[in-house]
Amino acid sequence: MTRRLLSIVPTLVGVTLLVFAFLHAVPGDPVEIMLGESASARDVAGLRAALALDRPLPEQLALFAARLAHGDLGASIAFRAPVATVIRERLPATLLLAVTALALAITGAIPLGVAAALRPHSAVDRLARFASLVGVAVPSFVLGPLLVLVFAIGLGWLPVSGSGGPAYVVLPAATLALGMGAVLVRLTRAAMLEVLGADHLRTARAKGAGPLRVAVVHALRSALPPVVTVIGLQAGALLAGAIVTETIFAWPGVGRLVVQAIGARDYPLVQGCVLTIGLVYVVVNLLTDVALALLDPRMRDADPR
């Protein structure tokens, strides 16, 4: 665990260097975007100097690293505000969307995967496999508009986009949850089928344990480690996947903020957003390791550090 904690720093440093290099390789001048084509050369030069964009790239990187070492992500070029403040205003919306999508995926996929494994080749099993295949095959940029057409425009049950009450989070969360849930259904089913024939389950049945107890207490617990691992990976990836979904539904989160920052060539804001997403991803994976250690003591004993 200590080794995983220490890996956070080089991971975030590598992410920062890659994002910095890619952003400055993209054509476009943020100063010209901000001031417009009618701005005078003097105004353009003055703003570029104020933002330190006239300095060599290594010097710009050194300035950014120095500020970052003091916990300062810099100032947003487009929003004219500290990057940390802009991200802090948008992060709760993204976390709400990600947690809701994760809860929907887990509560729907794991019971369906268990039911499919307990009755292989049944109608439930065929339904689970078909639904998971559709969920994996349909990308979020197609699924999102389809859900809007059916449930927002066609039936009028839910709002089309934006944020507000609980109804606004349903469609974007469902868009993220269906893709994630499709993977979890197939993985849960496969893990349960592998475990159901194990010796300790035959022993539990021989001792008189009922089918429900065998399935939930013994089989599901043994099948959970690979499922939890994938849940952790996908939970971190939800923030990246939210970029497309938040843009489709005009959800005011960090994902949509990244798109806006890239369009404005807002280097500090893009770097701050990517660092935030990277940090959340690493933290989620650390929590996944803790959960796996609680589920399987052998994994805890394998890495005493």
User: Per residue in 30-63, pLDDT tens?
Assistant: 666 666 666 677 767 776 776 677 777 787 778 7
Of residues 71 and 248, more confidence is placed in: 248
Q: What is the largest CA-CA distance in the chain?
A: 86
- Residue 233 exposed, middle or buried by CB count within 10 Å (0-12, 13-18, 19+): middle
- Looking up tokens 């494994």 gives 117
Average pLDDT taken over every residue of the chain: 78
Amino acid code (one letter) for 212? L
pLDDT at 163 over 70: yes
- Residue 66 CA, chain-centre distance (Å), reads 28
Q: In terms of Cα–Cα distance, which of 96, 63, 95, 74 is closest to 270?
A: 74
121: left (phi over 0), alpha (psi -120 to 50) or beta: left
Q: Rounded to an integer, what distance in angstroms lies between the CA atom of residue 198 and that of residue 251?
A: 46
Candidate ranges 29-33, 100-104, 230-234, 277-281; pick with highest mean pLDDT = 100-104
Second CATH level (architecture) for the domain 85-302: Orthogonal Bundle (1.10)
Using only C-alpha atoms, what is the Rg of the chain?
24
Q: Report helix, strand and coil shares of the chain as percent, to nearest 5.
A: 80, 0, 20
Between CA 34 and CA 75 the distance in angstroms is 14
**DSSP code of 218?**
I
Residue 7 has pLDDT above 70, yes or no: no
Query: What dihedral do alpha carbons 91, 92, 94, 98 form, nearest 10°?
Result: 130
Instruction: Report the percent of the chain where pLDDT is more than 70.
Output: 78
- Cβ pair 252, 93 in contact under 8 A: yes
Higher local confidence (pLDDT), 107 or 26: 107
Dist CA 62 CA 58 (whole Å): 6
Q: What angle is formed at CA 218 by the lines to CA 215 and CA 221, rounded to 5 degrees? A: 100
Question: Do 235 and 216 form a contact (C-beta atoms < 8 A)?
Answer: no
Mean pLDDT calculated for residue range 169-195: 86
Confidence of residue 207 (pLDDT cuts 50, 70, 90): low
What is the SS3 assignment for 134? helix
pLDDT per residue over 256-293, tens digit each? 888 888 877 777 888 888 888 878 887 887 787 777 77
Per-residue pLDDT at 210 = 56
Distance in angstroms (rounded) separating the CA atoms of residues 123 and 242: 33
Q: Is the pLDDT of residue 114 over 50?
A: yes
Please tell me the predicted confidence (pLDDT) of residue 2. Answer: 63
pTM recorded for the entire structure: 0.77
Contact in structure between 265 and 26 (CB atoms under 8 Å): yes
Evaluate if residue 167 carries a pLDDT over 60: yes
pLDDT the model gives residue 244: 83
In the chain, where the domains are located: 85-302
N residues, the chain: 305
pLDDT of residue 203: 65
CB count, 10 Å around CB of 274?
22
Indicate the range of 93-97, 118-122, 294-298 predicted with least confidence.
294-298
Q: Read off φ and ψ for residue 76, nearest 5 degrees.
A: -70, 130
In the predicted structure, residue 185 carries a pLDDT above the cut 70: yes
Q: What DSSP designation does 7 have? A: T
* Other CB atoms within 10 A of residue 196 CB: 18
- What percent of the chain shows pLDDT beyond 90? 0
What does the alpha-carbon distance between residue 278 and residue 254 come to, in Å, rounded to a whole number? 12
> Residue 209: which pLDDT band, with cuts at 50, 70 and 90?
low
Is the model's pLDDT at 91 over the cut of 80? yes
Asked whether the predicted pLDDT for residue 123 surpasses 80, the reply is yes
| Confidence (pLDDT) at 304 | 46
Which run of H or E residues covers position 168? Answer: helix 167-196
Spatial CB neighbours of 272, under 8 Å, sequence gap ≥ 6: 73, 74, 83, 84, 86, 87
